[in-house]
Amino acid sequence: MPFHLTAARRTPGRDHRSPDADPRPGRWRFWAVAYALLILLTGTNLPTPLYRGYAVEFGFSSLVVTLIFAAYAAVLIPSLLVAGPLSDAVGRRAVLVPAVALAALGSLVFALAEGTAWLFAARILQGAALGAASGPLTATLTELEPGGDRRRAALVATVASAGGLGLGPVLAGLLAQYAPAPHVLPFAVELVLLVPAWAAIATLPARRTRARWVPRRPQIPASMRTVFATSGTASFLAFAVIGLFLTLVPPYVAALSGSGNLLLGGAAVALMLACSALAQLTGYGRAARRLESAGLPLLAAGLVLLAVAGTVSSLALLLVATVIAGLGQGLVFLGGLTAVNQAAPPGRHADVLSSFYVVLYLGVGVPVVGVGFLATAVGLLAAVRYFAGVTAALCVVVLLVLARTRR
């Protein structure tokens, strides 16, 4: 039986929990940590439908939007690399409490923003917060899962992540379109939602024994490098699509529909991510490689339809493409995280997961900057078409590699 399946089973007499995990954590703490992950990701995606308004108010182009997003990813990645192994050494709570404080500060800066530099500063704070929290929160879910089921913990983590990614744009779009203070109220709501998240994290047990933490470069255990390479590449492509939807699909929707409604752009992003979450719920319990092999063709098909929708100016076709791409993204993400989660050895769990999240956020941040530069030369619709075509082709390549690896 492949290693990525057997790793999900608990070895008799062997505890996979970290030294700072509560031996009887209770279901409430597990779900409280999932809520914290959901709300942190909600906050980081509130700006998605607001960028058009910021661009008009502060006078910048689509390229600046992608650069703001890239600044977020550029800070998030080193934060991931530091926080994962640090939390393995000093405990989850010691890392997560400051991370929530940074997230609150980022929302506050957004609410007070008076220029483009404020947006960069707010995104940098949010990137540092999510980078510090992603790996440790996912590892904490695994440690607190009442039955010790890593597969179920991975499902909850991916659904909470997709839920936060989708809830942020819808919440911000709804409030910005139909409530007062469109650039303030969404972040005020986020600050309120962060209070119970902070309370949940503050109740985590302190680590009883502390190891000495030494900064080191990312390193994947030799036993899981093949799994990490294939799952990481597939997930990179899945999150490149997320990056496109979070930055450039709202104006893409506006261009195709001719509507300036902020909720419409946010709803397109949320639809994609809701389909992602649905696919993850449906795929729960399936083998990781089967999930990836089913998700990659769907992701490629959705991207091709996205390109065609721009060519024929069809909003209906764009919605179909969004649904298919979302289903594919969810299956690929769940399969990748499940494979890596199962293969990660005890004592290196948060470290490995943080490295995996580095790959994800490189996918979110790097390709979309290229699309931003391309949009300044050929226009937004053409740039999205080129991105969709290239990424769809790469999905097919990775699918062939996975099939060969499986054989």
pLDDT band at 217 (very low <50, low <70, confident <90, very high): low
Return the higher-pLDDT residue of 304 and 8: 304
Indicate whether 17 belongs to any domain.
no
Indicate whether 214 belongs to any domain.
no
Highest mean pLDDT among 142-156, 334-348, 383-397: 383-397
Return the higher-pLDDT residue of 131 and 350: 131
- Asked if residue 407 has pLDDT above 70, the reply is no
pLDDT band at 178 (very low <50, low <70, confident <90, very high): very high
Query: Could you give the CA distance from residue 309 to residue 198 in angstroms, rounded to a whole number?
Result: 42
Mean pLDDT of 333-350: 81
The total of structural domains in the chain comes to 1
* DSSP state string for 201-247: HHTSPPPSS-PPP--------GGGHHHHHHHHHHHHHHHHHHHHHHH
- The model's pLDDT over 376-406, given as tens digits with 9 standing for 90+, comes to 888 888 898 999 999 999 999 999 988 887 6
Indicate whether 166 belongs to any domain.
yes
Query: Could you give the CA distance from residue 211 to residue 219 in angstroms, rounded to a whole number?
Result: 18
Mean pLDDT of 157-179: 87
Indicate whether 86 belongs to any domain.
yes
User: What is residue 2's predicted lDDT score, i.e. its pLDDT?
Assistant: 30
Indicate whether 294 belongs to any domain.
yes
* Domain interval for residue 385: 28-207+223-406
- The model's pLDDT over 97-142, given as tens digits with 9 standing for 90+, comes to 999 999 999 999 999 999 999 999 999 999 999 989 988 898 888 8
* DSSP state string for 303-372: HHHHHHHHHHT-HHHHHHHHHHHHHHHHHHHHHHHHHHHHHSPTTSHHHHHHHHHHHHHHHHHHHHHHHH
What is the dihedral sign for C-alpha 167, 173, 174, 180? positive
pLDDT band at 355 (very low <50, low <70, confident <90, very high): confident
Average pLDDT of every residue of the chain: 84
Max distance between CA atoms of the chain, in angstroms, equals 62
User: What is residue 218's predicted lDDT score, i.e. its pLDDT?
Assistant: 65
User: What is residue 37's predicted lDDT score, i.e. its pLDDT?
Assistant: 93
- Asked if residue 331 has pLDDT above 50, the reply is yes
CATH number at residue 63: 1.20.1250.20
Indicate whether 181 belongs to any domain.
yes
Indicate whether 19 belongs to any domain.
no
Indicate whether 107 belongs to any domain.
yes
User: What is residue 395's predicted lDDT score, i.e. its pLDDT?
Assistant: 96
* DSSP state string for 157-173: HHHHHHHHHHHHHHHHH
- Asked if residue 34 has pLDDT above 90, the reply is yes
